[in-house]
Chain A
């Protein structure tokens, strides 16, 4: 009972604001007569979502395809990011050679490459979107994990030295656990980026059953309720991915202040 009250206190304000904003939105459209081409009412967006869920624009299969691209990109980008981070952390030479380059490349807006990726991997192929997604995911993972592997307290390393620990033991017992919170921080950023990469990739062409295509095509057909419905689904997908990572975080690093802070003892 107490717990339920605590939860209510914690989430009630956010819920009230959310419902309030939606209500205000609905009222503004109906009451002030804003045209649907400018901003459709929430009710008509939900209606459009229902009508196009498994029929019409096929939002559900489109979301499945887009999530497949984003998920693949997240997986590949994370794998590459981890690989490069470990190599760079291990070899100082690699750090000097790769890091400045990586940081420079990171400063380039990678979505600008989307049309090229379509050209390289096939406009109709999901892999072209996956490539953009992976490229976006790579950097936050690489930089964060690298930081976690290398930013280890000096005295922790001295302790390991006093145990006559080899570099493998230092890696598995100190550096990797130390990098876990950094990795998960990177993963939160990366999950959002993976979805952005997939959707923006789709903007530049591809099969019609994809959220990015639904957005582009419904907008050019002036069916803005459908556009908003597709954006809504994208938003829900992004938030869901983020929440999954928060759950993983609670499982993997319950000891970390960022996790503990949310549940004061």
Chain B
């Protein structure tokens, strides 16, 4: 199930944080994972399992304490400098002083390059997320779902090799979330980009993914990888498919199997506060 070429290769990745009281805390341990070009892989696990941390390690936003992260055969740091990563967070993080098109253009401005090419790319991306009519609007004039679509357009504007998404639809209502799921699948099919998607929603993980990576609570480990063999393209009928429910059950059992107890005090947010307070 791991056809070449491999885009993401994690080998023996470990991440240890030092808590404010000086005690070390292992967030991730022994992570080995390969993700092939064009795959859609979800990371799922209980709060505090370090799934967001793992995404940040892949994206070179925080270095692993040990182990290696290789992206298209390059170290993660090199990959970041080569602009191989598109990032989408739970909050859209749009710059409120920039219009929709200016937000999408931002990474292209940073990267430099020709103006005409840049403008064409901005138009192309806005068409991709179906927001061409809103190019001159400001973020505050858009709904939450639309803002997140702008964030996706922005993340894809510079044609990264991988799209890293950290619970991107976690703050949206259920209806909008399902619409965004279909939207993201359409974009994924259209662009052929490799996606790593962090979520705590089992249905979302199953609906979207080619594989679901199930993680355990601290220290975060990969306990199971579940192949999702639902036919594509997926849509409304997928959510009524018997296989869909079987897979949801399989993921749920995998989560329960390694998570007999509720995770305690240290949560993802504390990990993040520890690692990224700057």
Task: Give A residues with C-beta under 8 Å from B.
Answer: 153-165, 169, 173-174, 177, 180, 253, 255-257, 260
Contacts and interface: CB of A to CB of B under 8 A. Distances in A.
A173 B98 CA distance: 10
Nearest to A180: B97
Contact of A163 (B93, B107, B138, B276): B107
A158 B61 contact: yes
B154 to A, nearest CB: 8
A162 B87 contact: yes
Contacts of B89: 155, 158-159
Contacts of B86: 162
Nearest to A161: B61
Count chain A CB atoms within 10 A of each CB in B95, B97, B98, B158 and give the residue with the most: B97
A255 B96 contact: yes
Interface residues of B, number: 28
Contact of B95 (A156, A157, A162, A257): A156
B58 to A, nearest CB: 11
A257 B138 CA distance: 12
Contacts of A162: 59, 61, 80, 83, 85-87
A5 B87 CA distance: 48
28 contacts: A153-B93, A154-B276, A154-B277, A156-B93, A156-B95, A157-B278, A158-B61, A158-B87, A158-B89, A158-B276, A161-B61, A162-B80, A162-B83, A163-B83, A163-B107, A163-B111, A163-B158, A164-B82, A164-B83, A164-B111, A165-B110, A173-B106, A173-B110, A255-B96, A255-B97, A255-B138, A255-B140, A260-B140
Interface in B29-86: 56, 59, 61, 80-83, 85-86
B245 to A, nearest CB: 35
B253 interface: no
Contacts, number: 61
A235 B26 CA distance: 63
A163 B86 CA distance: 8
A116 B93 CA distance: 50
Interface of B: 56, 59, 61, 80-83, 85-87, 89, 91, 93, 95-98, 106-107, 109-111, 138, 140, 158, 276-278
A41 B140 CA distance: 50
A161 B80 contact: yes
B138 A164 contact: no
A253 B111 CA distance: 26
B5 to A, nearest CB: 22
Contact of A253 (B97, B107, B278): B97
B110 A177 contact: no
A57 to B, nearest CB: 47
Given A162-B87, A164-B82, A169-B109, 12 more contacts: A154-B277, A158-B89, A162-B61, A162-B80, A162-B85, A163-B106, A163-B111, A164-B80, A164-B111, A177-B95, A255-B96, A255-B140
Contacts of A157: 278
B95 A174 contact: yes
Contacts of A155: 89, 91, 93
B140 A159 contact: no
A154 B80 contact: no
Contacts of B59: 162
Contacts of B87: 158-159, 162
Contacts of A260: 140
A156 B278 CA distance: 11
